[in-house]
Amino acid sequence: MDAQTILTLLKFAIPVVLVLAAYNLYLVFKLKNVDLFASWDRNKVNGLLMIVFVTFGTIATIWGTRLYSDQYILINNPASNHGVDIDSMFYVTAIVTGIGCLLTNWVLFYFAYKYSGKEGKKAVYYPENNKLEIAWTVIPAIAVTLLILSGMNTWWKITGDAPEDRIELELTGKQFSWDIRYPGIDNKFGVVTWDSINDGASNSYGYHFASDKNGQDDFNPQEIYVPVNKPVKVLIRARDVLHSATMPHFRMKMDAVPGMTTSFWFTPIITTDSMRKVRNNPKFVYELACQEVCGGGHWNMRRVIHVVTQAEYDKWVKEQKPTYLAWKEANAPKVETPAVPASDTTKVAQPATPAQPAIPAPAKAEVKKDVAAPAKEAPKAAEPVKKTPSAKGGKVNP
């Protein structure tokens, strides 16, 4: 047993021993019929303890809130325009309810002290007071209505139309990661449908590359980049179960629902670099998380968000490779073994010698090697889906 373990055990053992000792003393005095507190006015002592309790509780609450305030991201440095709105709503709500909470509790404990039992004192019979009833119904009702209205106003802004000069990006939640998509230079998202999803053939997003030009410049980076002071509209989808796209530093959150596209927009107002200085933390990064407990790997659904200058953003966009290129490469017909599916790497890896006959067309069993491909059809070099998707450019149809 090391010193640390012994210390931890002692921390638990000492209070237990003290409580047992006190209980033993109590039993001894009880057996001897000694009442240590016989001279005390117990009602008065209890009344005074009420005051001590509420005073101590108030001080501890204020002290604790101040102590932890800079560790809770939700009350520090909102990094988006809507974040500022949400934080001010949070403060207003906290102040209004905080004052209500303090007032009612102070009155409660003070009355317990003031009206503690006394010899010969009788309780007053006070059955009802309509004016009081109306007052404490109407005042909270008005306060809550105002709070809700300001909340609705902010909600409508966040989920309403984004400004024209926005950039757009799309997040798709799946067990267990976020797929990120940008529309590329044409600013139009290509059509994606679930039945084209083919993880084994570099099409985990379900693009219709062969028939849909809009998708050919879309790119799927591993991290999110957004320019500062520019509105960002985020489209949110789910590939399997419910997820929830959450960007806590921007105070943004929206459920990802299979079968539909949800969205929000915000304008980042502080670059990552500036926030590192503000927080005095050179390693600080903004994050995207999943806030729906969506399964065993839920905790792993993290993506880094970089808020950069417009110039840095433009440079980054130029550097991105459209997913189409990787798909084209992965699905290009191989000259040596034309009959084998391009994604069947086990075959491609073996160079065909002249003595060997050409490998025959793939048997069913070989096709099955393309695991993780949910599409019903075997992967082919050419675009497998001929159906024209109903969604137009810019819209997605999961």
**358: Cβ–Cβ under 8 A, 6 or more apart, which residues?**
337, 339, 352
Q: Using CB atoms within 10 A of its CB, is residue 64 exposed (0-12), middle (13-18) or buried (19+)?
A: exposed
Q: How far is CA 52 from CA 99, 100, 109, in A?
A: 20, 20, 9
The token pair at 163 is 């400004």
User: 243 or 347, CB closer to Cu ion?
Assistant: 243
Q: Closest distance between Cu ion and the C-beta of residue 336, in Å? A: 42
Q: Closest distance between Cu ion and the C-beta of residue 236, in Å? A: 11
Distance (Å, whole) CA 73 – CA 70: 7
| Cβ 250 vs Cβ 268: under 8 Å | yes
Place of tokens 């050919």: 216
Helices 81-114 and 42-68: angle between axes, nearest 10 degrees: 170
Distance (Å, whole) CA 218 – CA 221: 10
Q: Closest distance between Cu ion and the C-beta of residue 174, in Å? A: 8
User: 84 or 241, CB closer to Cu ion?
Assistant: 241
User: 294 or 375, CB closer to Cu ion?
Assistant: 294
| Cβ 193 vs Cβ 389: under 8 Å | yes
User: 253 or 369, CB closer to Cu ion?
Assistant: 253
Where along the sequence are the contacts to Cu ion (CB under 5 A)? 243, 290, 294, 301
Q: Closest distance between Cu ion and the C-beta of residue 349, in Å? A: 35
User: 117 or 297, CB closer to Cu ion?
Assistant: 297
User: 296 or 357, CB closer to Cu ion?
Assistant: 296
Q: Closest distance between Cu ion and the C-beta of residue 397, in Å? A: 22
Q: Is 226 helix (H, G, I), strand (E, B) or coil?
A: strand
The token pair at 68 is 């932890």
User: 237 or 243, CB closer to Cu ion?
Assistant: 243
Q: Closest distance between Cu ion and the C-beta of residue 300, in Å? A: 9
The token pair at 289 is 């998380």
User: 236 or 294, CB closer to Cu ion?
Assistant: 294
Eight-state DSSP code of residue 216? G
Place of tokens 């939700």: 74
Q: Closest distance between Cu ion and the C-beta of residue 233, in Å? A: 21
| Cβ 196 vs Cβ 385: under 8 Å | yes
Q: Closest distance between Cu ion and the C-beta of residue 301, in Å? A: 5
Q: Closest distance between Cu ion and the C-beta of residue 294, in Å? A: 3
Rounded to the nearest 10°, the torsion over CA 102, 106, 107, 113 is 170
**203: Cβ–Cβ under 8 A, 6 or more apart, which residues?**
196, 197, 209, 327
Q: Is 76 helix (H, G, I), strand (E, B) or coil?
A: coil
